[in-house]
Chain A
Amino acid sequence: EDKVVQSPLSLVVHEGDTVTLNCSYEVTNFRSLLWYKQEKKAPTFLFMLTSSGIEKKSGRLSSILDKKELFSILNITATQTGDSAIYLCAVTGLDSWGKFQFGAGTQVVVTP
C-alpha cells in the first residue's frame, strides 16, 4: 500500500526565516509527487515532480525530489505571514493511476 509521511507535523517561524518541509514516500512504480498549499479552504497546487534531482522553483518556493532515497523537500525562503498554511504532499504511481495518496500535512505558522 502507498504511504506518505510528512515532517514536521507543525512548526512556527518568524517572518524572514527559511522553512524546509519533508515528504518521504513508498509507492509502487512511482509516477509523480505533488505539493499543495491549503489555507482556509481548497488545496491549491504548487509543484509536480517526476524526475530526480531537478529543482522546481516559483518565487520564494522551491522543491526537489530524490527518487533514490524516496523523499522530497519543499523550501520556503524569506517567509511571510501569507505563507501560513497547511502544506500537503501527495504521490501517485503507474499502478494507481488517478489515485493519490496524501500525507498528513505540515502546518506552518509564520509570525510577524
Chain B
Amino acid sequence: NAGVTQTPKFQVLKTGQSMTLQCAQDMNHEYMSWYRQDPGMGLRLIHYSVGAGITDQGEVPNGYNVSRSTTEDFPLRLLSAAPSQTSVYFCASSALGNQPQHFGDGTRLSIL
C-alpha cells in the first residue's frame, strides 16, 4: 500500500505566487489533516477534515485553503505565498478521530 502520498517533495516559490500541495491516501480514511513543522515548534495544525465535504480550521489556518471533494484527496492551497510560510508541510490521515495518524513524507517549501 502507498499509504499517504504527498507531492511535490520540494518546492521553491516567489512571494505572491500561489500553489497547491497535493495529498492522497489509499486507506479509505475519513480523517485527514495538514500540519506545518518549523524548528522547535512541533507540528501545528493548519486545517483538518472529518470526511468528504467537511473541513475545519486548525491552529494556523491563515493564508491557506483546503477542500475535500473525495475521501482520498485533501489538497492544501497557498493563496499568496509569503516568506513566513516557508516550512515543512505534512499531510496525515486516520481511520477514526482519535486513532493514530499515518503521515506522508512531507513537502519542503521555501518562499523567497
Residues in chain A within 8 A of chain B (CB atoms)? 4, 6, 9, 31-32, 34, 41-45, 48, 88, 90, 92, 97-105
Contact = CB atoms under 8 A, between A and B. Distances in A.
Interface stretch (B19-27, B76-84, B97-105): B97-105
B50 interface: yes
Contact of A48 (B100, B102, B106): B100
A45 B93 CA distance: 12
Given A98-B97, A105-B42, 4 more contacts: A43-B90, A45-B102, A97-B50, A97-B98
Contacts of A104: 40-42
Interface residues of B, number: 28
Given A42-B90, A92-B97, A100 B106 contact: no
A88 B92 CA distance: 14
A103 B40 CA distance: 10
B40 A42 contact: no
Contact of A45 (B40, B45, B50, B101): B101
A42 B97 contact: no
15 contacts: A6-B42, A42-B4, A43-B43, A45-B100, A88-B42, A90-B43, A97-B97, A98-B33, A98-B48, A98-B94, A99-B48, A99-B58, A100-B101, A102-B42, A104-B40
A41 B105 contact: yes
**Best-buried of A9, A42, A44, A90 by chain B (most CB within 10 Å):** A42
Contacts of A99: 33, 45, 48, 56, 58, 97
Nearest to A46: B100
Top 5 nearest A-B pairs (CB, nearest first) are A97-B97, A42-B103, A98-B97, A45-B100, A102-B43
A102 B97 CA distance: 15
B27 to A, nearest CB: 14
Interface string B16-56: 00000000000000010101000011111100111000001
A27 to B, nearest CB: 11
Nearest to B103: A42
B63 to A, nearest CB: 19
